[in-house]
Chain A
Amino acid sequence: MAKHETPLLDQLESGPWPSFVSDLKQQAEVRAKNEANVEFQIPQDVVEDLMGVLELSFKHGRTHWKHGGIVGVFGYGGGVIGRYCDQPQQFPGVAHFHTLRVNQPSGKFYTTEYLRQLCDLWDFRGSGVTNMHGSTGDIIFLGTTTPQLEEIFYEMTHNLNQDLGGSGSNLRTPSDCIGAARCEYACYDTHALCYHLTQEYQDELHRPAFPYKFKFKFDGCPNCCVASIARADMSYIGTWRDDIPIDQEAVQAYIGGELPPNGGAHSGRDWGSFDIQKEVIDLCPTKCMWMEDNKLMIDNKECTRCMHCINVMPRALRIGEDRGLSILVGAKAPILDGAQMGSMLVPFVKAEEPYDEIKEIIEGIWDWWMEEGKNRERLGELMKRQGFQRLLEATGLKPDPRMVAEPRSNPYIFWKEEEVEGGWKRDINEFRKHHQR
């Protein structure tokens, strides 16, 4: 017999998609039976109380969680989100229900051995409820009490060689796509760069010293599977600057219908036979492709590397060999001043250890933002407030037409005195010698 009736949640058990309600129920049952003899450090019926409070929210149409309090582990300003229930008498098991953000491994690859260790720790000292993974990328441990925080951190660092992720006004846990590990489109090793910068900036990640949050995301190619261009204050998007190698035999195999276009992505519907003119050449955004003597030709100088032709014919076309990445800056979700997409700052840089060139840019930006940014002002908002020119000054980068979609359409240039011949100091009396009042 369940501790709380959940008639509304129960209606989310039917239907084909995996039901989180069914999963929570099985978890509640496993904890109640406790066949593994776990010495639970937080209430055994925590999951039942979680379902109870969620049912109440379904009934009220409002959340029953209060603001986070200031809880955390000693010496860190992030990684733990305090969470308290606003009906603690009714649901004592979730009266304290804090979240831990656990820094996920790059590419989100796991061994079962390691996942089981995480499960053992979380069953013992927490609710056993997780998110695999949270929006930013962390493993989320959902729900424990204040006295368990240090204990979990101690066990995690000492026994699992595992650290917490970021929260608050700090560097948030960086995240990456699968990259070179299993993708032929990866223009750089996203895992290596993500891991390297995460380790390099541990202090920035754990100790909030920024005006607001700051995110790094690493996409191996312009397909942007981790959405860096929309979500990261600094997004690192793989690209190349030489030619797309062409396997003409494979091109013919696509034309002849021996190979399915787009790796078989359209298999569920009859789109007719493959038409390279209509499906590739005419859709190229720069119209830099054509057929000549039955061969596919590309004017690579005109290519903007949108990935479409490569996506459609992955056996015939590949990314180039001279690879690196572009850095775009300032993306964010809407709060406060509307959503922003990342803006191109570094068109091309090689991604080679120890990544000094990349770190110089990062640190230049941070210095400027920490000096000038207002409380809760994201980098993108500071860029809008003070202008792209200040970003160039902060990073020491030279202006490049690749940074803009088009030049300005107003002439309101803030000339600086040192840019104007003779400076701004003038003598009015000298002027008046030639111009009467």
Chain B
Amino acid sequence: MAFVSSGYNPDKPMEDRMSDIGPKKYDEFYPPVIAKNKGKWLYHDILKPGVLVHVAESGDKVWTVRCGGARIMSTTHIREICDLAEKHCGGHLRFTTRNNIEFMVDDEKKVDPLIKDLESRKFDGGSFKFPVGGTGTSITNIVHTQGWAHCHTPATDASGPVKATMDVLFDYFKEHKLPAKLRVSLACCLNMCGAVHCSDIAILGYHRKPPLLDHEYLDKMCEIPLAIAACPTAAIKPAKVEIGGEKVNSVAVNEPRCMFCGNCYTMCPSMPLADQEGDGIVIMAGGKVSNRISTPKFSKVVVAFIPNEPPRWPKTTDTIKQIVQAYEKGANKYERLGEWAERIGWERFFEQCELEFTHHLIDDFRDPAYYTWRQTSQFKF
């Protein structure tokens, strides 16, 4: 493994340096039918789950085949995607914001061979490499974060629970059988890199134990004022602690005030929160980002805690399936999960989803909490 230089000279880092050039320009990558008809599309149809056709003013059409993919993707897999795109799509493809892969063709005759090719490919372990679906009123791919594969603050894994959940929801990915689209997202801690707070169903990693304090190293590893300032509930204060007969600077945590956000740990590595029993999953539901019919909504916490159960998180996936099935049964056509819950009332939502309502689900975090309590005599028995 001999070091191979790129041409970069570490002694003269500014020599021949290029910077601030930005991303590649988008129009380098458009397939010809896209480049020609950009801004002139008339309408689209979803021919079947995973297959769209867009029709332009010119009469041109582009057929799109959408397939699911894991967000963690190897170059080996990307090269196979390239093989497929070269074979069927003139060397063009795109990804969606939800980690799906879209193959586009400009001739209807190319659609079926493409689908056949995609659906025939499986990993050695048996799973599909390119399942076609995820359009219309299906459940499309789950957007998610890094989890235990690459992050320092997660309270759960990401790729594992996502794989387990999509296995359970696979029929919903392949079919258009729900009242409206249903978006599932996962964030492995409440930093929410995955911004799951406006999803129909959100899977959220959550810690439940206050930070451990590594007093011996804390002052050496961290800026104590930053750790103190990082706490949203002002639960951290400076403290002197005796270690081996010596007084060292450290912090003290007012544990009942801790909301387990991990913000202190982000600022100070000597305050880890992760714990096998403490960490697990919160299920939130009823959010959306679209302005369609009703305004965008935040997801609400409907299950306060489910333990982490690697490798397949069965309680989490069962709970999600339960919610999806109740929604499928109860909602009107076009009604998103949150719109359904609001129409029938949240008291009815818990009944229909067979979820227990616990005190954890009543907001007690600052001002917004008040606006979630019931200020009317109207409710359902």
Chain A residues at the B interface, C-beta cutoff of 8 Å: 8-27, 30, 39-41, 43-44, 47, 50, 54, 57-68, 74-76, 83, 97, 99, 103-116, 118-119, 122-124, 128-133, 135-137, 142-143, 147, 150-155, 157-158, 160-163, 173, 175, 177-178, 180-184, 186, 189, 191, 195, 198-199, 202-203, 206, 222-231, 237, 260, 262-269, 271, 279, 283, 285, 305-308, 311-312, 314-315, 333-339, 341, 375-376
Q: Which of B93, B131, B143, B311 contacts A8 (CB 8 A)?
A: B311
A25 CA to B125 CA in the complex, in Å? 10
What is the distance, in angstroms, from B366's C-beta to the closest C-beta of chain A? Answer: 7
Contact B269 A161 (CB under 8 A): no
In the A-B complex, the 5 residue pairs with the closest CB atoms: A13-B125, A265-B136, A15-B167, A333-B192, A22-B123
> Which B residues lie within 8 Å of A105 (CB)?
23-26, 28-29
> Which A residues lie within 8 Å of B269 (CB)?
66-67
Q: Which of A14, A119, A334, A337 contacts B75 (CB 8 A)?
A: A119
Contact B197 A132 (CB under 8 A): no
Q: Which of A75, A151, A173, A224 contacts B6 (CB 8 A)?
A: A151
> Which A residues lie within 8 Å of B277 (CB)?
61
Contact B124 A311 (CB under 8 A): no
Which residues of B in the span 55-94 have a Cβ within 8 Å of any Cβ on A? 62, 64, 68-79, 81-82, 85-86, 91-94
> Which B residues lie within 8 Å of A24 (CB)?
72, 74
Contact B76 A23 (CB under 8 A): yes
Contact B123 A225 (CB under 8 A): no
Given A58-B310, A224-B290, are A109 and B30 neighbors across the interface (CB < 8 Å)? yes
Which residues of B in the span 305-329 have a Cβ within 8 Å of any Cβ on A? 308, 310-312
A99 CA to B146 CA in the complex, in Å? 11
> Which B residues lie within 8 Å of A21 (CB)?
125, 163
Q: Mark B152-193, 1 if CB is under 8 A from A, else 0.
A: 111001011001101100100101110001000001001111
Given A57-B157, A268-B49, A334-B190, are A65 and B150 neighbors across the interface (CB < 8 Å)? yes
What is the distance, in angstroms, from B231's C-beta to the closest C-beta of chain A? Answer: 9
A238 CA to B42 CA in the complex, in Å? 17
> Which B residues lie within 8 Å of A58 (CB)?
148, 157, 160, 310-311
- 7 example contacts (A-B, Cβ-Cβ < 8 A) are as follows A11-B312, A25-B124, A107-B29, A115-B93, A265-B46, A265-B136, A335-B263
Q: Which of A18, A285, A376 contacts B68 (CB 8 A)?
A: A18
Contact A27 B75 (CB under 8 A): yes
Chain B residues at the A interface, C-beta cutoff of 8 Å: 1-8, 10, 13-14, 16-31, 34, 38-39, 41-49, 52, 54, 62, 64, 68-79, 81-82, 85-86, 91-97, 99, 101, 104, 123-131, 135-138, 143-154, 157, 159-160, 163-164, 166-167, 170, 173, 175-177, 181, 187, 190-198, 226, 229-230, 232, 261, 263, 269, 274-277, 279, 287, 289-294, 296, 298, 308, 310-312, 333-334, 365-366, 368
Contact A223 B176 (CB under 8 A): no
What is the distance, in angstroms, from B267's C-beta to the closest C-beta of chain A? Answer: 9
What is the distance, in angstroms, from B213's C-beta to the closest C-beta of chain A? Answer: 16
> Which B residues lie within 8 Å of A119 (CB)?
75, 78-79, 82
Q: Which of A10, A175, A195, A308 contacts B25 (CB 8 A)?
A: A195
What is the distance, in angstroms, from B234's C-beta to the closest C-beta of chain A? Answer: 11
List 13 other contacts, CB 8 Å, given A8-B310, A223-B291.
A12-B312, A20-B163, A23-B73, A26-B76, A61-B276, A63-B153, A63-B274, A106-B26, A142-B72, A181-B38, A223-B290, A225-B97, A333-B197
Given A22-B123, A66-B152, are A16 and B311 neighbors across the interface (CB < 8 Å)? no
Contact A61 B75 (CB under 8 A): no
Contact B48 A267 (CB under 8 A): yes
What is the distance, in angstroms, from B104's C-beta to the closest C-beta of chain A? Answer: 8
> Which B residues lie within 8 Å of A147 (CB)?
3
In the complex, residue of chain B having the shortest beta-carbon distance to the beta carbon of A180: B39
What is the distance, in angstroms, from A241's C-beta to the closest C-beta of chain B? Answer: 15
> Which B residues lie within 8 Å of A334 (CB)?
190, 192, 197
Contact B137 A266 (CB under 8 A): yes
> Which B residues lie within 8 Å of A104 (CB)?
23
Q: Which of B17, B30, B77, B292 contacts A181 (CB 8 A)?
A: B30
Q: Which of B45, B144, B191, B292 contacts A307 (CB 8 A)?
A: B292
Given A18-B131, A110-B29, A227-B198, are A62 and B333 neighbors across the interface (CB < 8 Å)? no
Contact A266 B333 (CB under 8 A): yes
> Which A residues lie within 8 Å of B125 (CB)?
10, 13-14, 19, 21-22, 25
Contact B194 A135 (CB under 8 A): yes
Contact A195 B46 (CB under 8 A): no
In the complex, residue of chain B having the shortest beta-carbon distance to the beta carbon of A174: B23
Contact A130 B175 (CB under 8 A): no
Q: Which of A13, A202, A206, A224 contacts B126 (CB 8 A)?
A: A13
A75 CA to B20 CA in the complex, in Å? 10
Interface centre among B13, B130, B296, B311 (most CB of A within 10 A): B311
A147 CA to B6 CA in the complex, in Å? 11
Contact B148 A63 (CB under 8 A): yes
Contact A227 B195 (CB under 8 A): yes
Q: Which of A132, A203, A269, A279 contacts B20 (CB 8 A)?
A: A203
What is the distance, in angstroms, from B244's C-beta to the closest C-beta of chain A? Answer: 24
A184 CA to B45 CA in the complex, in Å? 11
Q: Which of A10, A130, A285 contacts B293 (CB 8 A)?
A: A285
A158 CA to B241 CA in the complex, in Å? 53
Given A107-B94, A182-B34, are A50 and B149 neighbors across the interface (CB < 8 Å)? yes
A50 CA to B148 CA in the complex, in Å? 10
> Which A residues lie within 8 Å of B23 (CB)?
103-106, 162-163, 173, 195, 198
Q: Which of A116, A137, A142 contacts B82 (CB 8 A)?
A: A116
Interface centre among A62, A97, A152 (most CB of B within 10 A): A62
> Which A residues lie within 8 Å of B31 (CB)?
109
Contact A116 B79 (CB under 8 A): yes
Given A12-B163, A335-B190, are A60 and B276 neighbors across the interface (CB < 8 Å)? yes
Given A12-B312, A65-B151, A180-B39, are A112 and B82 neighbors across the interface (CB < 8 Å)? yes
Contact B296 A230 (CB under 8 A): yes
What is the distance, in angstroms, from B347's C-beta to the closest C-beta of chain A? Answer: 23
A295 CA to B365 CA in the complex, in Å? 51
In the complex, residue of chain B having the shortest beta-carbon distance to the beta carbon of A221: B291
> Which B residues lie within 8 Å of A339 (CB)?
192, 197-198, 298
A15 CA to B165 CA in the complex, in Å? 10
Contact B7 A158 (CB under 8 A): yes
Contact A44 B1 (CB under 8 A): yes
A16 CA to B23 CA in the complex, in Å? 35
What is the distance, in angstroms, from B133's C-beta to the closest C-beta of chain A? Answer: 10
Contact A17 B170 (CB under 8 A): yes
In the complex, residue of chain B having the shortest beta-carbon distance to the beta carbon of A189: B39
Contact B41 A224 (CB under 8 A): no
A133 CA to B163 CA in the complex, in Å? 17
Contact A23 B192 (CB under 8 A): no
What is the distance, in angstroms, from B115's C-beta to the closest C-beta of chain A? Answer: 16
Q: Which of A161, A184, A199 contacts B54 (CB 8 A)?
A: A184
